[in-house]
Amino acid sequence: MYLKIVLSSLFILFLQHLAQVIYHMDYHRVVYNHLPGQCRLVPGVEYGSEDMQTLSNGLTFISSGLLFPPSPMSIYKYHEEHNIRGKILLFDFNHPEENPLVLKISEGFDQDTFHPHGISIFEDKQTGRVTLFVVNHPPGFDTIEKFEFIPEENLLQHVKTYIDPAIIFANDVLAIGENSFYFTNYGHFRGCWGHLMEIILGLPFGNIMYFDGNDYKLASDGLLLPNGLALSLDGKTVYVASPKTEDLKVYRRESNNILEFVQQVPLYSGVDNPTVEPDTGNILIGAHPVLYQVAEHLSHPEVSAPSQIIQQEKMYLKIVLSCLFILFLQHLAQVIYHMDYHRVVYNHLPGQCRLVPGVEYGSEDMQTLSNGLTFITSGILFPPVPKSVHKYHEEHNIRGKILLFDFNHPEEDPVVLKISEGFNQDTFHPHGISIFEDKQSGQVTLFVVNHLPGFDTIEKFEFIPEENLLQHVNTYIDPAINFVNDVLAVGENSFYFTNYGYFREVWLHLMEIMLGLPFGNIMYFDGNDYKLASDGLLLPNGLALSLDGKMVYAACTKTQDLKVYRRENNNILEFVQQVPLYSGVDNPTVEPDTGNILIGAHPVLYQLTEHLLYPKVSTPSQENMSSKNHWYLRILVSSCLLAPK
């Protein structure tokens, strides 16, 4: 049974890969002949030219007579029948009506095994000396040949032959100096069948090497059939054509001449040799638009294959701006979608409910003791809110407070807890809260997130039930407490807390939301030190702890999911899973009897945003419930606390 599944899967993968290979061979593509103007066939290169390089004075070197290492025997026979020999031609673009001439090569160089491929020139601006580097494919191995051009004699003076194990299967060379150059190794296998396997299987065995005059070193690897090379006018950027992937790769030259990948520009054609225009810096790229016809031409030269010239403007401001605009529109559409303008919420109550007085202006968080007593925060002033919200609080005399509600007597109203003297209640704007209940002593410790003007704190209180009093114990202030949303007590002096983002100012915080910047985190305080428990989060909100204390649940409003973390021994949080809930989840609570999770949520985020700016505008809320194995939603619509009647 398993063997059949494995074989079936492998067969499906094979078919998928085969379909990709066939597609990339361009059998579906039709090319129409288009000329840039009046052209003529230049004699002397009837049997093809693989590369050409132009000097600043318009003289152009052209390689001809390529014998590619993986070529079948039919190609060698074709070359013999037509007496094709490797040569370098010289063409003058100042006199395009004239024909090219074949350059002489100095004595001592074996022209019988000269099969030139890629070429590159280095022009010394001071002396005028021209050095020519040529990739050569003699039988059995590859070399790079160095020549000096003697213009008075139309002669290439052979200077040196570079032979090294690093020169495996060279395609093109790029001169950097009189004795230094890059070159591409097109692949690993020089034989016909091995090279065909590389192409069909898409094996990235190609690389770019650099020679500094003494040593060869790897500049970039893991490339699939890297072809022609070109250098930007400032010498800082290297362009590499990749015909199989039909793109132009852009690299930045580091100070040690290693190439750092920058971008990949899709060109949808079998790009071959790029050339940088000396006046503009634009890139001209010779290409093969129909790859299966190129493959046929390489096996049967009498069969012609279409070619193409692509112009790329400086890598490419228009494309970059267009792409940025498209990405902006895409991101804007995502932002609008996640603001829930498309969503309709229907009022649904779990039973008879009543509006509990005392929280008419809202409650941000609530925590319940094992005996049913529940602490409720009210009077939040969120740091990024505009001045209109501050004005609303003043007009309605809204003050920060902690209320106590007893679920054993749901018909009774909550009471406002007193806070011990010495604590400044004028700057008390409570947000998230958490309780630590000592099972032995019965002592209840309450941690409260507080938003003071300009900074955040976490306040610690001891609950005195006989007096309905919160005895203030400590104020936690630290740079780690940046922009806090919720706190999670794990001990009498230890807790986690979420930093909702980085910016507290309204416009910068709005930028975080709109751009989806994951600047939020979860911190841990062990009683002495603060440390990062998890970071790279987008607007992390409420926290909850599993009954066994091993898991932490973090609600993420913007991404509309609940993230589950495992607590490590050092209290770092290890991400386990992300549970999509499709609502702006806010504060999770773990039911003490079942371990299920109740999550207060905002199903329509744009209405929540409107409510935060204009508190008079109500917004729907929602309760999400998670069992240990199943996730489902129960919708409760209310902007205030509802209690059973």
In contact, 543 and 537? CB cutoff 8 Å: no
User: Residue 327: which H helix or E strand, with range?
Assistant: helix 317-338
Among candidates 549, 550, 551, 553, which has minimal Cα distance to 561? Answer: 553
Residue 228 near residue 171 (C-beta atoms within 8 A): yes
Residue 620 forms part of a structural domain? no
Closest CA to 185 of 226, 214, 152: 226
What's the pLDDT at 2?
Answer: 66
The answer as to whether 633 is a domain residue is no
Give Cα 220 to chain centroid, integer Å.
Answer: 21
Structure tokens at 591: 């039911």
Going by C-alpha positions, the residue among 298, 334, 545 that lies closest to residue 434 is: 545
Residues 449-477 have pLDDT tens digits of 999 988 999 999 999 999 999 999 999 99
**In-domain check, residue 520:** yes
Q: What is the pLDDT of residue 638?
A: 32
In a domain, 333, yes or no: no
Confidence of residue 71 (pLDDT cuts 50, 70, 90): confident
The angle formed by the CA atoms of residues 601, 604 and 607, to the nearest 5 degrees, is: 110
Asked if the model's pLDDT at residue 53 lies above 70, the reply is yes
531 C-beta neighbours (distance < 10 Å), count: 12
Pairwise CA distance, residues 213 & 223, whole Å = 24
Look up residue 264 and give its two tokens. 């990949």
pLDDT at site 103: 95
Q: Domain holding 456: CATH number?
A: 2.120.10.30
Residue 227 in marked binding region: yes
The residues near 423 (Cβ < 8 Å, ≥ 6 apart) are: 459, 472
H or E element at residue 513 = helix 506-515
Phi–psi pair at 4, nearest 5 degrees: -65, -40
Domain membership flag for residue 634: no
The answer to whether 272 is annotated as binding is yes
Identity (one letter) of the amino acid at 523? Answer: M
The token pair that represents 501 in the structure block: 């983002």
Domains held by the chain: number? 2
pLDDT of 407 over the 50 cut: yes
The residue whose two tokens read 């300009």 is: 454
Angle 81-82-87 (CA atoms, 0-180°, nearest 5)?
130
Whether 375 shows a pLDDT value over 60: the answer reads yes
Statement to judge: residues 549 and 419 lie in one domain? yes
pLDDT band at 212 (very low <50, low <70, confident <90, very high): very high
Determine the Cα–Cα distance for residues 222 and 188; give it in Å rounded to an integer. 11
Identify residue 480 by its one-letter amino acid code.
Answer: A
Chosen domain end from 280, 315, 350? 315
Amino acid letter at 547? L
| Residues 493, 382 within the same domain | yes
Same domain, yes or no, for 366 and 301? no
**Per-residue confidence band for 188, with pLDDT thresholds at 50, 70 and 90:** confident
pLDDT tens, residue by residue, 520-573? 999 999 999 999 999 999 999 999 999 999 999 999 988 899 999 999 999 999
Task: Please check the confidence at residue 57 and state whether its pLDDT lies above 50.
Answer: yes
The answer to whether the CB of 106 falls within 8 A of the CB of 155 is yes
> Is 4 contained in some domain?
no
Domain range enclosing 534: 361-596
179 is in an annotated binding site: no
d(CA 13, CA 503): 48
Residues 287 and 421 in one domain: no
Q: Which whole number is the average pLDDT over 153-172?
A: 95
pLDDT digits (tens, 9 = 90+) for 7-37: 777 777 777 767 777 777 777 777 778 877 7
Q: Enter the pTM of the model.
A: 0.53
Within this chain, do residues 400 and 308 fall inside the same structural domain, yes or no? Answer: no
Judge whether 171 is annotated as a binding position: yes
Segment 235-284, tens digit of pLDDT: 999 999 998 888 999 999 999 999 999 889 888 888 999 999 998 888 99
Q: How far is CA 217 from the centre of its chain?
A: 29
- Is 230 found in the same domain as 290? yes
Burial level of 146, CB count in 10 A (0-12/13-18/19+)?
A: buried
Q: 303 and 391 share a domain? A: no
Q: Which of these ranges, 104-113, 161-170, 238-247, 296-305, has the smallest mean pLDDT?
A: 296-305
> Looking at residue 636, what is its pLDDT?
33
Does pLDDT of 629 surpass 50? no
Q: Residue 541 in contact with residue 557, Cβ under 8 Å? A: yes
Which region among 413-427, 435-449, 605-619 has the lowest average model confidence (pLDDT)? 605-619
Residue 530 confidence (pLDDT): 96
Whether 300 is a known active-site residue: answer no
**288 shares a domain with 162:** yes
Q: Are residues 280 and 414 in the same domain?
A: no
Burial class (CB in 10 A: 0-12, 13-18, 19+), 248: buried
Strand residue runs (E) in 313-454 = 353-355, 366-368, 373-378, 401-406, 415-416, 418-419, 430-437, 444-452
Determine how β-strand 455-464 pairs with β-strand 373-378.
unpaired
Does residue 93 fall inside a structural domain? yes
Q: DSSP secondary-structure letter at 467?
A: G
The gap from C-alpha 162 to its chain's centroid, in whole angstroms, comes to: 40
CA dist., res. 159 & res. 175, Å (int)? 15
Q: Please check whether residue 523 lies inside any domain of the structure.
A: yes
Do 189 and 65 have their domain in common?
A: yes
User: Please, which residues have CB within 8 angstroms of residue 259's CB and are 6 or more apart in sequence?
Assistant: 182, 208, 219, 220, 238, 251, 252, 253
Whether 50 has a binding-site annotation, put simply, is yes
pLDDT tier for residue 632 given thresholds of 50, 70 and 90: very low
Which residues make Cβ contacts (< 8 Å) with residue 411, sequence separation at least 6?
645
Which one of 17, 28, 115, 117 is the catalytic residue? 117
Phi and psi (nearest 5°) for 273? -120, 115
Domain endpoint, select from 315, 334, 353:
315
Measured at the CA of 269, the angle between CA 268 and CA 271, to 5 degrees, comes to 125
CA angle 117, 122, 123 (to 5 degrees): 135
Residue the block writes with tokens 């416009």? 507
What is the pLDDT, as a whole number, of residue 236?
93
Beta-bridge partners for 430? 450
Q: Which of 259, 202, 162, 275 is nearest to 24 (CA)?
A: 202
Quick: pLDDT tens for 471-523: 999 999 999 999 999 999 999 999 999 999 888 887 788 788 888 889 999 99
Nearest Cα neighbor of 405 from 438, 443, 383, 433 is 433
Q: Are residues 374 and 470 in the same domain?
A: yes
Q: What is the pLDDT, as a whole number, of residue 633? A: 33
Q: What's the first-to-final CA gap in the chain, in angstroms?
A: 59
Same domain? 104 vs 49: yes
Tell me the helices (H) and strands (E) count for the chain, helix number first: 8, 43
Q: Is 51 among the annotated ligand-binding positions?
A: yes
Write the Ramachandran bin of 214: left for phi over 0, alpha for psi from -120 to 50, otherwise beta. Answer: alpha
